[in-house]
């Protein structure tokens, strides 16, 4: 099996955010996220020499490594999307351009989308993901209780909210609602536009049916 290039740690693109302290951000990014990058690389290294002859659905080294690869790798991807989705001095700005139009079309209004997204932040145990289903070209809010549960095939994350306690406990203790409000004020809607362009989601948008 050919070696897979190692994942590397993406630096934060900002130093501080409105309502999220540097200590909270550094613990979240430099410790937890970096740990998922490290474990992804360790698992993939182990897979190069894993025993495939003893593969078994009850317990085997191959099964365990492959299951945990999805947990660690999604831990990397979701955290990167989460950190990228925020920016300094956004002051609760509303979306403009393509993403604004799509939210209006798929949720009835930006306010409708926001109400659902924030409510899901309370109801979910791990992540809330605004994603486009490329098959029908629509945006949906999905709930993921753990990294490798709740994801939808052929759906591209456009905006990600981390609601694990480690994302807010230093600043907000058990008051998750206040953390979600702080997150909403820091959303970098331009980054959502970058994701739309990167994955050419406008092509799949043509599949949308009213």
Q: What is the pLDDT of residue 14?
A: 82
The pLDDT tens digits for 110-129 are 999 999 999 999 999 999 99
Give percent above pLDDT 90 in the chain.
91
Tell me if 2 is assigned to some domain.
no
Residue 16's pLDDT band (cuts 50, 70, 90): confident
Residue 37's pLDDT band (cuts 50, 70, 90): very high
Tokens of 123: 């109801």
Which of 45, 61, 84 is where one domain is finished? 84
Q: What is the pLDDT of residue 125?
A: 97
Q: What is the pLDDT of residue 13?
A: 86
The pLDDT tens digits for 150-179 are 999 999 999 999 999 999 999 999 999 999
Q: What is the pLDDT of residue 156?
A: 98
Tell me if 140 is assigned to some domain.
yes
Question: Looking at the structure, do residues 200 and 121 belong to the same domain, yes or no?
Answer: yes
Question: Looking at the structure, do residues 39 and 124 belong to the same domain, yes or no?
Answer: no
Question: Looking at the structure, do residues 73 and 166 belong to the same domain, yes or no?
Answer: no
Question: Looking at the structure, do residues 168 and 70 belong to the same domain, yes or no?
Answer: no
Q: Give the CATH number, domain containing residue 150.
A: 3.55.40.20
Question: Looking at the structure, do residues 185 and 124 belong to the same domain, yes or no?
Answer: yes
- Domains in the chain, number: 2
The yes-or-no verdict on residue 22 having pLDDT over 70 is yes
Which of 33, 51, 84 is where one domain is finished? 84
Rounded to whole angstroms, the Cα distance separating 117 from 119 reads 6
- 159 SS3 class: strand
At residue 65's C-alpha, the angle toward residues 52 and 29, to 5°, is 155
The yes-or-no verdict on residue 62 having pLDDT over 80 is yes
Nearest of 203, 209, 162 to residue 182 by alpha carbon: 162
Q: What is the pLDDT of residue 15?
A: 76
Whole domain around residue 103: which residue ranges?
97-205
Tell me if 166 is assigned to some domain.
yes
Question: Looking at the structure, do residues 113 and 182 belong to the same domain, yes or no?
Answer: yes
Mean pLDDT of the chain: 95
Which of 33, 59, 84 is where one domain is finished? 84
Nearest of 98, 203, 81 to residue 144 by alpha carbon: 81
- For residues 43-54, give the mean pLDDT: 95
The yes-or-no verdict on residue 1 having pLDDT over 60 is no
Nearest of 193, 145, 161, 155 to residue 20 by alpha carbon: 161
Question: Looking at the structure, do residues 74 and 141 belong to the same domain, yes or no?
Answer: no
Q: What is the pLDDT of residue 208?
A: 86
């Amino acid at each position: 099996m050919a070696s897979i290039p190692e994942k590397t740690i993406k630096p934060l693109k900002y130093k501080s955010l409105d309502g999220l302290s540097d200590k909270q951000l550094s613990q979240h990014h430099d410790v937890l996220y970096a740990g998922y990058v490290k474990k992804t690389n360790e698992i993939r290294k182990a897979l190069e020499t894993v025993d495939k002859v003893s593969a078994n659905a009850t317990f085997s080294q191959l099964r365990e490594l492959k299951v945990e690869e999805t947990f660690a790798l999604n831990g990397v991807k979701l955290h990167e999307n989460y950190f990228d989705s925020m920016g300094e001095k956004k002051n609760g700005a509303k979306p403009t351009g393509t993403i604004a139009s799509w939210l209006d079309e798929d949720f009835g209004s930006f306010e409708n989308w926001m109400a659902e997204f924030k409510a899901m932040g309370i109801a979910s145990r791990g992540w809330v993901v605004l994603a486009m289903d490329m098959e029908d070209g629509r945006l949906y809010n999905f709930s993921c209780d753990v990294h490798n549960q709740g994801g939808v095939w052929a759906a591209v994350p456009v905006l990600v909210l981390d609601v694990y306690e480690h994302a807010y406990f230093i600043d907000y203790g058990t008051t998750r609602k206040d953390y979600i409000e702080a997150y909403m004020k820091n959303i970098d809607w331009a980054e959502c536009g970058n994701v739309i362009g990167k994955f050419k989601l406008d092509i799949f948008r043509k599949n949308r049916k009213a």
